[in-house]
C-alpha cells in the first residue's frame, strides 16, 4: 500500500481561468509538483521489482530490485532495508542499503546508515557512525562537467 502525504500551503491552491466553448470559467487548482508531494512506503510493505518516481519518496519498508527517480529525493528511514540498484537525484540513508547507487546531486549516510555496494555521486557525505563497505566514485555533476568543459585549459 502506498500512503501519499500532501503538504500544501495556502499559496499552493491557486485560481486559474479557462475558456471552454467560448465561456470563461474560474476553477481552483492545486499544485502537486516539486516538494509538495511525497510518497511513503510503510514499514510493513515489501516491494519486489522496479520502483519509478518523479516525486520525493520515503521508504520505511523493504525494496528488492531497482529504484529509478528522475526528480525528487529518496529518504531511506532507519527501519528500511533496501537491496536494489538505485538511480536518484538526492539520497539520504538512515537505514540499511545494499547495491549500486548513483545520485545526480548527492548521497548522505547518516550516523545510523549501514551501506554496502558502490556509490557514484558528485558529493558523498558520511556522518560519524555510518557504516560503509564498498567503493565510492566521486564524479562531477553534469552542470560541473559543462563548467569544466568550458574552462580554459592550462598546461
17 pLDDT above the threshold of 50: no
Residue 4 included in any domain: no
Burial class (CB in 10 A: 0-12, 13-18, 19+), 107: buried
Check: CB of residue 79 under 8 Å from CB of residue 96.
no
Question: In sequence order, what are the beta bridge partners of 67?
Answer: 51, 86
> For the chain, first and last CA: distance in Å?
58
51-101: pLDDT as tens digits: 999 999 999 999 999 999 989 999 999 999 999 999 999 999 999 999 999
Domain holding 68, by residue range, is: 34-147
- CA neighbor of 39 nearest in space, from 62, 65, 7: 7
Count of domains for the chain: 1
To 5 degrees, how large is the angle CA 77–CA 126–CA 129?
A: 75
Residue 1 included in any domain: no
108-152: pLDDT as tens digits: 999 999 999 999 999 999 999 999 999 999 987 665 555 545 555
C-alpha cell at 39: 510518497
User: Residue 1: its pLDDT value, please?
Assistant: 36
Q: What is the DSSP string of the chain?
A: -EEEEE---GGGEEEEEEEETTEEEEEEEE---GGGEEEEE-TT-EEEEEEEESSEEEE-SEEEEEEEESSSEEEE-TT-EEEEEEEEEEEEESSEEEEEEEEEEEEEE-TT-EEEEEEEES-EEE-TT-EEEEEEEE---HHHHHHHHHSPP--
Q: Say what the pTM is.
A: 0.70
Residue 138 included in any domain: yes
Residue 69 included in any domain: yes
Residue 154 included in any domain: no
Check: CB of residue 13 under 8 Å from CB of residue 25.
no
Amino acid at each position: 500500500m502506498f500512503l501519499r502525504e500532501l503538504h500544501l500551503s495556502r499559496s499552493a491552491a491557486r485560481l486559474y481561468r479557462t475558456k471552454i466553448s467560448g465561456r470563461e470559467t474560474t476553477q481552483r487548482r492545486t499544485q502537486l509538483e516539486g516538494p509538495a508531494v511525497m510518497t511513503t512506503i510503510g514499514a510493513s510493505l515489501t516491494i519486489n521489482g522496479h520502483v519509478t518516481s518523479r516525486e520525493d519518496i520515503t521508504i520505511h519498508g523493504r525494496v528488492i530490485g531497482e529504484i529509478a527517480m528522475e526528480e525528487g529525493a529518496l529518504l531511506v528511514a532507519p527501519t528500511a532495508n533496501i537491496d536494489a540498484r538505485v538511480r536518484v537525484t538526492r539520497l539520504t540513508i538512515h537505514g540499511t542499503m545494499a547495491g549500486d547507487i548513483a545520485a545526480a546531486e548527492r548521497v548522505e549516510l547518516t550516523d545510523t546508515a549501514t551501506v554496502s555496494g558502490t556509490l557514484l555521486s558528485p558529493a558523498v557525505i558520511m556522518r560519524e557512525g555510518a557504516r560503509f563497505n564498498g567503493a565510492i566514485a566521486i564524479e562531477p555533476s553534469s552542470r560541473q562537467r559543462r563548467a569544466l568543459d568550458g574552462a580554459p585549459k592550462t598546461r
